[in-house]
Homo-oligomer: A and B are copies of this chain.
Amino acid sequence: MAGERAGRAGGLLIREAQPSDASAIWGIIGPVIRAGETYTIDRDISRESALAYWMDGGGHCFVAEEAGVVLGTDYLKRNQAGGGSHVANCGYVVGEAARGKGIARAMCEHSMQKARELGFAAMQFNFVVSINIGAVRLWESLGFAIVGRLPDAFDHPKAGHVDALVMHRKL
């Protein structure tokens, strides 16, 4: 598929990931998985398994690049099978050096548009760590509401057990 220029100064290109993007994607998601502060992925997962999870989870995987450099990545898939197939799920990671520049927002807007094109009626994030305030605020600013609070659901490496949030919006 053709990529699309996101509405952002500097010409961020968001496009479908290719197998050749694997190293760049691992360079972005690897440190986040190893830190284990946001995603419920085993912190010692192998590179191969992590990339299979991220890139080949049964949906789409995208990269956000600028001047040929991959700065972020996200996936888009159905959140549930069967009677839950009309709700999308996404995950986003921005490389450490590129944070605070609106890339996560651009990727989320892009994935919502893609999800609409694919016929999804809503999008749900199942597990937003409650103390990840930047993420919670970003998703709220993009129209997501907190529809669930999972008590002590996340064992944060620094903060200990903290709540996780379920966030949702219609598309």
Which residues of A are in contact with B by a Cβ distance under 8 Å?
33, 36-37, 39-43, 45, 80-87, 121-122, 124, 126-127, 129, 147-157, 161, 164, 166, 168, 170
* 24 intermolecular pairs with C-beta atoms under 8 Å apart: A36-B82, A40-B80, A40-B82, A40-B83, A40-B84, A42-B81, A42-B82, A43-B82, A83-B156, A83-B157, A84-B127, A84-B153, A84-B155, A84-B164, A86-B161, A87-B150, A122-B152, A124-B150, A124-B153, A126-B126, A148-B149, A148-B150, A151-B168, A152-B170
* Chain B residue contacts of A152, Cβ below 8 A: 121-122, 170
Which of these, B39, B43, B153, B170, contacts A87 with CB under 8 Å?
B153
| Contact in complex: B147, A148 (CB < 8 Å) | yes
Contact partners of A127 in chain B: CB under 8 A: 80, 84
Whether the Cβ atoms of A147 and B155 lie closer than 8 Å is: no
